Amino acid sequence: MALENILAVLFDFDLTLSAEYMQAALFRKYNVEGKAFWQEKGQMVAEAKERGINLDDECAYLNLMLRYVRKGDFPKLSNAELRELGREVRLHAGLPEFLPRLKEQITADPAYAPYNVQLEFYVISSGLKEMVLGSALGPCLTDVFGAEFMEDADGTIAEIARVIGHAKKPEFIHLINKGGNVNPDIDLNGLLPRDLRRVPFENMLYVGDGASDVPSFETLNKRGGKSFAVYNPASEEAFRQAYALQRDSRVLAFGPADYTEGSHTPRVIQRVLREMVEEKIELQEEEIRRRASPAPKHIAEGK
């Protein structure tokens, strides 16, 4: 029995890792009133509904961004500029330092050295992939799944290439499980034996901040993984929401969105990952002992 040695922490981004919606950096750059933008997005959704069309929030805000590009509010906005603007996204306290520190704590632990434990970090977001990659967290991440744009001939974003709503996020959990992000030849819709799946579900921890993460929480909860909620400690509403997620068994635990060394949330996340590793090691050691034990005499003699 080989140790399933790859662990993965899957993060939502907005308000989970960032202290603001990432688009705020875009609005600051172009002096656009963020509140007005989101109100206009809500109006788009409402008007579509009046016409009998179910316009997803995520499609609406991406289409609205393209409208702003066309009318000159986001002049000649490109993917490269979105990535550059990612540097301006405000992260929660303790980031990005938390991620490399956590990886060191887990993968460099002498007790785990014989098992070659690996730790990977992913972001699955309804926000913009390029901005996540451009943020201070970008170099720490194994992969990012988020909304994407195609560009026209002069490099300006012109068409939507990918939309990720909250109900679609579990698809990427399955992708990571099967290893489709590192091996595009894998048939994601076909049956794949457990021993060929790159990251077992029970080796995954999903970290999110609210109701939009419930489909992802549930996906892992049903398959042996773990879920954790963070909240803005300055917001009573955010605390109540996180509390309700734990009360309703949506998440294993919750804590403030503070990733500074020694604070509650990093300690819980590290403990969860250590338990994952130690459970795998114990299972492997039990299997080794079982195989090494001689069969009882009556079985060995065929009686």
Q: What is the pLDDT of residues 257-300, one digit of tens each?
A: 999 999 999 999 999 999 999 998 988 777 777 778 765 655 55
For residue 242, give the nearest of 211, 273, 220, 216 by alpha carbon. Answer: 211
| pLDDT attached to residue 1 | 41
**pTM score, whole prediction:** 0.93
Mean pLDDT, range 174-191, rounded to an integer: 87
Predicted local confidence at residue 299, as pLDDT: 54
Q: In terms of C-beta distances under 8 Å and separation of at least 24 residues, what long-range contacts does 48-52 make, across chains too?
A: none
Residues in the chain: 303
Q: How far apart are CA 156 and CA 70, in angstroms?
A: 10
Residue 60: CA count within 13 A, CB half-sphere:
18
Q: Report the mean per-residue pLDDT for the chain.
A: 93
| 250 secondary structure, DSSP code | S
Q: Is 196 or 25 the better-scoring residue by pLDDT?
A: 25
Of 51-55, 186-190, 294-298, the range with the highest mean pLDDT is 51-55
* Helices 214-221 & 169-178 angle (0-180, nearest 10): 40
- Name the helix (H) or strand (E) containing 5: none
Question: Which amino acid is located at 2 in the chain?
Answer: A
Q: Is the peptide bond before 139 cis (omega within 30 degrees of 0)?
A: no
Predicted pLDDT at 68: 98
Which of the four CATH numbers 3.40.50.1000, 3.40.50.150, 3.30.2020.30, 3.40.605.10 does domain 6-22+91-300 have?
Answer: 3.40.50.1000
Q: Is the dihedral of CA 20, 26, 28, 32 positive or negative?
A: negative
Which of 197, 164, 155 is closest to 178 using CA atoms?
197
Residue 38, number of CB atoms within 10 A of its CB: 17
What is the per-residue pLDDT across 115-143, written as a single tens digit (0 to 9) for each?
A: 999 999 999 999 999 999 999 999 999 99
Q: How is residue 118 written in tokens?
A: 């690996």
pLDDT band of residue 194 (cuts 50, 70, 90) is: confident
Using the predicted structure, report yes or no on whether residue 220 has a pLDDT greater than 80: yes
Name 91's bridge partners: 18
User: Percent of the chain having pLDDT more than 90?
Assistant: 83
Sign of CA dihedral 44, 29, 89, 231: negative
